[in-house]
Amino acid sequence: MNPKTLHYKMPAEWEKHERTLLSWPVQSSMVYPDNYKEVCGGYAELVKAIAEFEPVTLLVNPEDEESLRPIFAGHPVELLPIPHNDAWLRDNGPTIVVNGQGERAGINWGFNAWGGKYSPWDLDDAVAPAVLKHLNLRQFDAPLVLEGGSIHVDGEGTLLTTEECLLNENRNPSLSREEIEEHVKNFTNVDKIIWLNRGLAGDETDGHVDNAACFAAPGKVIIQVCDDPADDNYAITQENLRILEEAADAQGRKLEIIPIQQPPHAQYEDSRLTLSYLNFYFVNGGIILPIFGGEAAETDRLAEESLQRVFPDRRIRTIDGMAVIREGGNVHCTTQQIPSGR
């Protein structure tokens, strides 16, 4: 039995949330552990921004619980002690599915730290079951490795992903493309997968779609684009645009495509930072948008204006997107929505 046979489906992210889940950073797992204080400041800003719109449950390692309690006093933030290795809950947390009666359950995907890049990951692989036990939700164990940032759904039967990530041999080497597609369809209950080829340059997740493109509504896709032929993202985003222009969704609709200009190229030490406005997060009545400042001030403004036009009824709440990006991700990567149900 799987979610599809039992008529559960993965809701669109913009549907009403009960709350948002995040995990607190772990210094020992960070690529740049000297940035721990700055990263924690960015997480605190993000948690409080989300809490302006909906309750937050923050997973903390038990030894951090007491020191964090004063930081979030007065905010609708619950601290939940669950041991974890890393703080990218979008990728190792559960995906919540809902049936027609509003009953919820959770998908426990396999997790191997983005193809074995960061060891250890045993605690992170155990986070989803621990969260589902806390929420008292039925658990579906998926027979494949998959991170939540690698998929995005429209709530009406269509899913966006990239071949670079989902078909990468470092995730599910024993499964064929057809087997992976069947598992994804069965566990999210979609009928159509739109396969982009690659994610953005420098993305150490092997091309998560949540940096490259996302649904704004059924039949409507936002994509980050690059107009500089000398930039690695030019060929990537032009190809993704072509794929989307030629695609139809599960309902047979041609897609309306909304381009957002990428921020200027930025480096940290020897690595390109994967700056993306598409790594925003839907909250009840709003959007949490990372912006980057400095040379990106103009594209920051354009991205905010574009999203406000697309979502006129939502408040665009910007936060400092540079605070956590050196660790490899941003707002969407840190969050996991718990959709409303009963």
Q: What's the pLDDT band for 85 if we cut at 50, 70, 90?
A: very high
Residue 136: per-residue pLDDT: 97
Asked if residue 157 belongs to a domain, the reply is: yes
Question: What mean pLDDT value characterizes the chain?
Answer: 96
Q: What's the pLDDT band for 326 if we cut at 50, 70, 90?
A: confident
Asked if residue 104 belongs to a domain, the reply is: yes
User: Domain containing 99 — which CATH number?
Assistant: 3.75.10.10
Asked if residue 2 belongs to a domain, the reply is: no
> What is the SS3 assignment for 71?
helix
Asked if residue 320 belongs to a domain, the reply is: yes
Confirm if 249 and 276 have CB atoms less than 8 A apart: no
Asked if residue 37 belongs to a domain, the reply is: yes
Separation CA 293–CA 112 (nearest Å)? 33
Separation CA 112–CA 145 (nearest Å)? 7
Asked if residue 1 belongs to a domain, the reply is: no
Asked if residue 75 belongs to a domain, the reply is: yes
- Could you give the number of structural domains in the chain? 1
**92 Cβ partners below 8 Å, 6+ apart?**
84, 86, 111, 121, 124, 125, 127, 128, 147
Show which residues are catalytic. 333
Nearest by Cα to 261 from 219, 231, 306: 306
Q: What residue type is assigned to position 74 of the chain?
A: G
pLDDT at 328 over 90: no
Asked if residue 159 belongs to a domain, the reply is: yes
pLDDT at 22 over 90: yes
Phi, psi of 266, deg, nearest 5: -140, 140
pLDDT at 268 over 90: no
Give mean pLDDT, residues 270-298.
96
Confirm if 216 and 183 have CB atoms less than 8 A apart: no
**pLDDT 10s digits, 160-218:** 999 999 999 999 999 999 999 999 999 999 999 999 999 999 999 999 999 999 999 99
Q: What's the pLDDT band for 271 if we cut at 50, 70, 90?
A: confident
Residue 269: per-residue pLDDT: 85
pTM attached to this predicted model: 0.96
Residue 157: per-residue pLDDT: 98
Domain span at residue 76 reads 8-339
